Amino acid sequence: MYAKDVMSSPVTTISAGASVRDAARLLINAQVSALPVVDQRNAMTGIVSEVDLIRRVVGDSNDPTQLHAHLGDPDSQEVLSLTVADIMTRDVVTATEETSLEDVATLMLEHQTKRIPIVRGTDVVGIVSRIDLVKAMLSHAKPATTAATPTPAPQLRDDESLRMQVAAAIQKLGISLGGSFDVVVRHGIAHLWGQVGNVEEDKACQMTAARVAGITDVISHMQALPRR
């Protein structure tokens, strides 16, 4: 499998000139732990994460009590007025869509990072996180075939194309999908991830995925959690 098979896309980005306050709001509202930073041409110039925000507030002393004091004092929030360029990490380890997941995992371990931005030229087109690698491990099923009538590999449609088609079809259902909804397709088998409101919605997603031409089986890993 390759980065393109499991990466989260599209990617929520932020400009280098945005304020730290804007970055914090976007991190919370988008439910992500890091944001690629882009320039006016959409080229990635860095990345800003929750850790960058917290480290800037705590300071060099690495004293967590400073963070508590800062957050508790509405008059001492100068850091939130800084720009993203002031606190972002500039030396970012990246990979391409064709990078194997084994190599992506190696990069994460070697550089002790939780995520690897995926770039096409200078543009960021996706992100592979550690949880995406876990999804890939659990989605490493192979199609069931019999010895008498094996399914020829050439008949299987491109997994990346199938992934996009399945995700688009499920989105059209109008179901409120939570928990970072995602689709992984491996050898024509669609693996569904995320949260739905009930079992009926889960079944609807499975049936919709199964109707996509080229999908040979559907495995749902989604959780049915009643909405409040």
Between 118 and 23, the more confident residue is: 118
For 58-93, write each residue's pLDDT tens digit: 555 555 555 444 544 454 467 777 889 988 999 999
**Residue 55 corresponds to which tokens in the numbers above?**
């480290």
pLDDT at 221: 85
Residue 11 neighbours by CB under 8 Å, 6+ apart: 36, 117, 124, 125, 126, 127
Determine the average pLDDT of the residues in 201-217. 93
* CATH entry, 153-224, from 3.40.50.170, 2.30.30.40, 3.90.320.10, 3.30.1340.30: 3.30.1340.30
Residues 6+ apart with CB under 8 A from 228: none
Q: What's the chain's average pLDDT?
A: 81
Q: Which residue has the higher pLDDT, 186 or 108?
A: 108
State the pLDDT at residue 122.
87
Helix (H, G, I), strand (E, B) or coil at 214: coil
pLDDT digits (tens, 9 = 90+) for 38-55: 988 888 999 998 888 777
How high is the pLDDT of residue 153? Answer: 46
DSSP assignment of 130-180 = HHHHHHHHHT-------SSSPPPGGGSPPHHHHHHHHHHHHHTTT---EEE
pLDDT digits (tens, 9 = 90+) for 127-172: 999 888 888 887 765 544 444 444 444 444 588 889 989 999 999 9
Examine domains 3-130 and 153-224 and report if their fold is the same: no
Half-sphere CA count of 225, side-chain side, radius 13 A: 11
> How many alpha carbons lie under 13 Å from residue 17 in its C-beta half-sphere?
3
Dihedral angle over CA of 129, 82, 43, 51, nearest 10? -10
User: What's the pLDDT at 76?
Assistant: 40
Domain locations in the chain? 3-130, 153-224
Q: Smallest Cα–Cα separation from 3: which of 122, 150, 129?
A: 129
- Average pLDDT, integer, range 102-131: 91
pLDDT recorded at residue 100? 92
Write down the pLDDT at residue 150: 47
pLDDT at 75: 43
Stretch 23-50: mean pLDDT: 87
Confidence band, pLDDT 50/70/90 cuts, at residue 22: confident
CATH number assigned to the domain with residue range 3-130, chosen from the 4 options 3.30.70.3420, 3.30.420.40, 3.40.50.2300, 3.10.580.10? 3.10.580.10
Confidence of residue 119 (pLDDT cuts 50, 70, 90): very high
